[in-house]
Amino acid sequence: MQCHLRQTGRELFQESQGCMKSTHTRLDRLADLIKREVSEILLREVKDPRVAMVTITHAAVTGDLKQAKVFFSTMKTGQELTDTITGLERAAGFVQRQLAERVHLRYVPHLSFLFDDTLIQAAHMDQIFRELEEKQEHTEHTE
């Protein structure tokens, strides 16, 4: 079964059932491209100090190519994190326009920025494991 993909308007249609992997791969490539370009735009083009020290961790594009969620991490917490989120939300239109100039797509997805707390969760899990290890060592020494 041969797989043919065509882009009509903003939607990506599949010619046959066997195209799921190709569509998924295309969405992955687009998400990776968006991740790289948004990272570069934030680093070089956006002058807002609130968005400094932000790392784009990954992006996810919807199947209809209309929306893209851009996940970011930062070591900022509290009010600084809130300010960073506000700065990214305000810069989203600018970033989207810059992305449209760099990426040759018929339609550029609407960008939304979401905080990726994976690093915080990993650090928390690491701390828990260290505490368990210390308790285990302590109980082994007292026996």
Question: Has residue 56 been placed in a domain?
Answer: yes
Range of the domain at 112: 5-116
99 is a domain residue = yes
The span from the CA of 138 to the CA of 122, in Å, is: 24
Write down the pTM of the prediction: 0.72
Which amino acid does the sequence have at 114?
A: L
For the chain, how many structural domains are there in total? Answer: 1
Is position 122 within any domain? no
Query: Does residue 140 belong to any structural domain of this protein?
Result: no
Burial label, 143 (beta-carbon count in 10 A; 0-12, 13-18, 19+): exposed
Is 41 domain-assigned? yes
82: domain CATH number?
3.30.300.20
Digit-coded pLDDT (tens) for 73-108: 998 989 999 999 999 999 999 999 999 999 888 889
Residue 124: inside a domain: no
| Least confidently predicted of 17-26, 41-50, 114-123 | 17-26
Strands 11-14 and 5-8: antiparallel
CA atoms within 13 A on the CB side of 18: 4
